[in-house]
Amino acid sequence: MSKNYYVQNELKEIGFTKSLINKYLPNPDKTEKNKHSKKKPIKLFLAERVHSIQQSEEFKNDLNGLKNRKNSATIASSKTIKTKQQRIVKFANSLNIRINNTKKITDLIDEALDDRYNYILEREGIHSKRLKDFSSFDDEYKLRRTANYIKYNYSNYSSLTNEVEGKVGIGIAILIIEKKFYIELGSVYPSLKEYCDDELEKMSCPTLAYEETPPNEKISRELYIGDLDRDGIVKVRQEQARLKSLLTNGKPEGQCCFCHKIYPTDFLRCAHIKKRSECLDEEKININVVMLNCPICDSLYEQGYIGVENGSVITLRKERIAKDLLNLITDIEGNICLIYSTKNSHFFSWHIEFHTQSILSGKRKTRQI
């Protein structure tokens, strides 16, 4: 295609909006047959004509007016979002966790481990020959399973998280509810207090500011070199580096949003919630489509072993899983996802649907690690 002409997409890249194109360039200078599809012919606009329009005072005034209106709308939207976030935080702080403490902690530990054992048998099928043996479970694992078992079976945790579902600021609201649960659990069952204090300390790590979304959620196209998928691995690595920098705010350490462990930034991965290869161009430059994961959690998520539903980590794959891998999954199952919000929940839903369909069809797309 001649360099003397612009196509519509190129006009948008140099500042033209749809309304400006309709006003100043209602008709193309010529058309060209679309070689790749049977769609309408490609409209071509003479570069000399385009540049002349760009230099006109009327165009500059219209462009500035659009920018001012867009900025005003962005500011108004930010204020609205902030107000809604403040409301949900206030609402979450007003909620009270209730734990049914009618059972002894020793009985609850037995129940929790039995529940886990039955769950493992269900995974492996009715022909499983696994023996009921918990000797390989260390004390920390038993406490974790017990805490999660109490959370979902002997408290009102689930009903409280349902109350904030779908609201702006759900991520921070769930975090508040989670903290309330561990505070109450440590109070009701003193033998779990040390474990609860450790969990509370993990959740208090301020290394990431997930709730503070950049004013423009679509990252500047300046971070890309040419077309989004034309320049291969070099472009992708540069894109990943920029995204990771935004997620960590340039700090030397970051927190995995699944296991909550803190690692040096260089060790963490900028992971796509929705597979990058399946993202539209506008999704690839949306900060809400990525998250920080440690290599283990990144692999578990990427290969469809886990997902996120209603802000919590869930297991997706039900087939036979190696024992050590199963232990990795159960360690994070039930954890809150630190980055979950209304702005990325649809990306997490896409991940679940994609891998569920892969399982049903017997096909699985994985990458080598």
Q: In this structure, are 194 and 148 located in the same domain? A: yes
- Residues spanned by the domain of 108: 84-203
Q: In this structure, are 226 and 195 located in the same domain? A: no
How do 5-6 and 30-32 pair as beta strands?
unpaired
Q: What is the mean pLDDT of the chain?
A: 78
What's the confidence (pLDDT) of residue 56? Answer: 92
**Greater pLDDT, 211 or 71:** 71
- The residue from 152, 171, 203 where one domain ends is 203
Three-state SS at 202: helix
Nearest residue to 172 via CA among 349, 345, 339, 286:
339
Residue matched to tokens 């998520």: 301
Q: In this structure, are 329 and 216 located in the same domain? A: yes
- 53 phi and psi angles, rounded to 5 deg: -65, -40
What's the confidence (pLDDT) of residue 330? Answer: 85
pLDDT of 359 strictly over 70: no
Whole-angstrom Cα distance, residue 168 to residue 173?
A: 9
For the residues 138-144, what does the mean pLDDT come to? 82
Whole-angstrom Cα distance, residue 55 to residue 63?
A: 11
Q: Is 15 left (phi over 0), alpha (psi -120 to 50) or beta?
A: left
Residue 66 falls within a domain, yes or no? Answer: no
Whole-angstrom Cα distance, residue 293 to residue 262?
A: 10
Nearest residue to 109 via CA among 155, 151, 145, 133:
145
Q: In this structure, are 108 and 250 located in the same domain? A: no
Percentage of the chain modeled with pLDDT above 70? 76
Encoding tokens for residue 156? Answer: 């009102």
